Amino acid sequence: MARAATRKKKSRLVPVLILLLIFSAITFILVRNHLVSSKNYDEVFDPSSDQSFLINIPSGASTKRISQILEESGIIESAWKFSLKARLNELDGKFQAGDYMLSASMSTTKIMEQLQCGKSATVKFTIPEGYTIRQTAAKLVEQGMLSDVQQFYDACADDYNYEFLDGIEAEPDPSGTLDARQNRLEGFLFPSTCEIYPGTDAHGIIDRMLKQYEIVYEKCREGLDDRAAALSAREIATLASLIEKESAVDKDRALISSVIYNRLKKGMLLQIDATVLYSLGEWKDRVLYKDLEIDSPYNTYKYEGLPVGPISSSGEASIYAALHPETSKYIYYVLKPDKSGAHNFAEDYKTFEKYKQEYLNSVNN
């Protein structure tokens, strides 16, 4: 009798178990359809949020851990839902490590798409060639990288571990904006388009620009000219800044470099207008005769040799030209009258005067 009762109980349990399995299967299908469907589950945790956050996904993080990071950061409402949706969509293990700019106003689908790209979230800034420290600081504020220029000036006075900066001293900025310590990085902040992590401070931005200068400088030093080998890193940066300011056409840079080297060898004044403008602490279209008399160690109309330091940042082409000057006998150059930005070069004063008059006639007509 006991065995019969046991068999009867088991026979009753079978339909119950079958019903439970059917119910579980139906529930699973319904939940799956609900979560997988972009209409039913493309949740946005906070549609009104206008803030984005830099979220780091560490290497090797599981889908479960990534979901927890997103929930803890306030990007999603439920780590469980996010993790389940990822697995049902066969995304488990496909999310990439990196830094991502994410917001609670982003849909779940969008967040998952971002996490699969494996690209770190960065922002870009662009500094044109020929910019001074003051212009660079203003440009960074304009592009939203910094809140004010003083942050940049103060960070210029920090220590940076680069060989080309060893023993570098500087004159104060002629405009009176920067002291010597802040001004010593003039010419070494490489102008380019750089990518940085959001929130990078002024010190980090400067370090990024110095690192790029180091890369370009070392690249350009390969096979350098013997004349350049005799100059210090700061003198090369200074010479490159003169070439940068004097050249509008790339093909002229090596020739302008040769003119500067030739005049230095002969002990001639360089007489470069850009150094006068830097001495004045302002940039303007024309240099007046009275401007040439300004008493500044940057004024190459008044003092022989290179100025005491760079007068701006320099692009790769100018750095290369400073290290690889053309071989020539030219000691003069003047703009061509065709408004191309190119120059005529001369070995003697008479030819220079001829080219100069041609240029002046074109300006006056």
Say which CATH number the domain at 60 has: 3.30.1490.480
Tell me whether residue 40 is in a domain. Answer: no
**Residue position matching structure tokens 């779940």:** 108
CB 181 within 8 A of CB 153: no
Confidence band, pLDDT 50/70/90 cuts, at residue 209: very high
Among 218, 250, 269, which residue terminates a domain? 218
The packing angle between helices 149-156 and 133-142, to 10°, is 140
Q: What letter would DSSP give residue 135?
A: H
pLDDT value for 38? 43
Q: If DSSP states are collapsed to H, E and C, what string results for 55-84?
A: EEECCCCCHHHHHHHHHHCCCCCCHHHHHH
How high is the pLDDT of residue 199?
Answer: 78
For residue 92, pLDDT beyond 90: no
On whether residue 18 sits in a domain, the answer given is no
pLDDT (tens digit, 9 = 90+) per residue, 269-299? 999 999 999 999 888 878 888 999 999 999 9
Within-domain flag for 313: yes
Is residue 202 domain-shared with residue 176, that is, in the same domain? yes
Strands (E), the chain: 53-57, 98-102, 123-126, 193-196, 332-335, 343-346
Q: What pLDDT digit, counting tens, does each position of 223-268 carry?
A: 999 999 999 999 999 999 999 999 999 999 999 999 999 999 999 9
| 344 and 263 belong to one structural domain | yes
* 89-103, 185-199, 290-304: least confidently modelled range: 89-103
Q: Are 206 and 189 in contact (CB under 8 A)?
A: yes
Domain encompassing residue 340: 225-364
Taking the C-alpha atoms of residue 95 and residue 86, their distance in angstroms, rounded to an integer, is: 9
Q: Which of 167, 199, 218 is the last residue of a domain?
A: 218
> Does 288 share its domain with 178?
no
Q: Within this chain, do residues 129 and 101 fall inside the same structural domain, yes or no?
A: no
